[in-house]
Each structure stands twice: as structure tokens, then as C-alpha cells.
């Protein structure tokens, strides 16, 4: 689960950063839920006894960054344009 969290975190962080470009903002609607799923997997791997803790922590960091960037992007978009644009 730790490796899955790390891979999902990297992909969601890339997706959310690509969504900062004007016409690719639909990726933000995909990157945030995927980042949430990766964070859940990272927490589960962190409390698992068989998993490598550092991989789980790295996955949580990447997923947390993706969630923060995605939510801030969504809030800016929502309040400046009155909707998801």
C-alpha cells in the first residue's frame, strides 16, 4: 500500500500541477480525489506493520501537496469566476 500511495501521490501531484495551465483545469477535478485516495492508502500503510514507513511518509507528503495545491486552485477558480473554470 505504501508504494501505491507513493505512485498515486506522484501522479496526482503531476495532474494538479498540469491543471494550473488555463485550459487543462479539468485535471484538478481528477487530481484531488485521486490524491485523497492516495492519502488514505498512505495512512493505512503507515499503520501497517509489514510496510516500509518511509515510503508511506513520502506518499503522504506527495498526496498532501497535491491536495493543498488542488484545493487552493479550486478555491481561487471558484471565487474569481463564480464556478469551476
Q: Yes or no: say if 57 and 34 are a contact pair by the CB < 8 Å rule.
A: no
Give the pLDDT score at 10.
92
Where does residue 82 fall: left (phi above 0), alpha (psi -120 to 50 degrees), or beta otherwise?
Answer: left
Q: Yes or no: say if 64 and 39 are a contact pair by the CB < 8 Å rule.
A: yes
C-alpha cell of residue 17: 500541477
Q: Is the model more confident about 65 or about 83?
A: 65
Residue 43's pLDDT band (cuts 50, 70, 90):
very high
Rounded CA separation 49/31 (Å): 29
Give the pLDDT score at 75.
85
The predicted model gives 47-69 an average pLDDT of 89
Rounded CA separation 42/39 (Å): 5
Q: Per-residue pLDDT tens for 4-17?
A: 999 999 999 888 88
Where are the chain's structural domains? Answer: 2-81
Residue 83's pLDDT band (cuts 50, 70, 90):
low
This prediction has a pTM of 0.84
Amino acid at each position: 500500500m505504501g508504494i501505491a500511495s507513493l505512485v498515486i501521490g506522484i501522479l496526482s501531484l503531476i495532474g494538479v500541477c498540469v491543471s494550473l495551465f488555463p485550459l487543462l483545469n479539468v485535471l484538478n477535478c481528477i487530481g484531488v480525489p485521486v490524491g485523497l485516495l492516495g492519502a488514505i492508502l498512505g495512512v493505512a500503510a503507515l499503520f501497517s506493520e509489514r510496510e516500509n514507513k518511509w515510503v508511506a511518509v513520502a506518499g503522504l507528503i506527495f498526496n498532501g501537496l497535491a491536495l493543498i495545491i488542488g484545493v487552493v486552485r479550486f478555491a481561487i477558480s471558484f471565487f474569481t469566476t463564480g464556478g469551476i473554470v
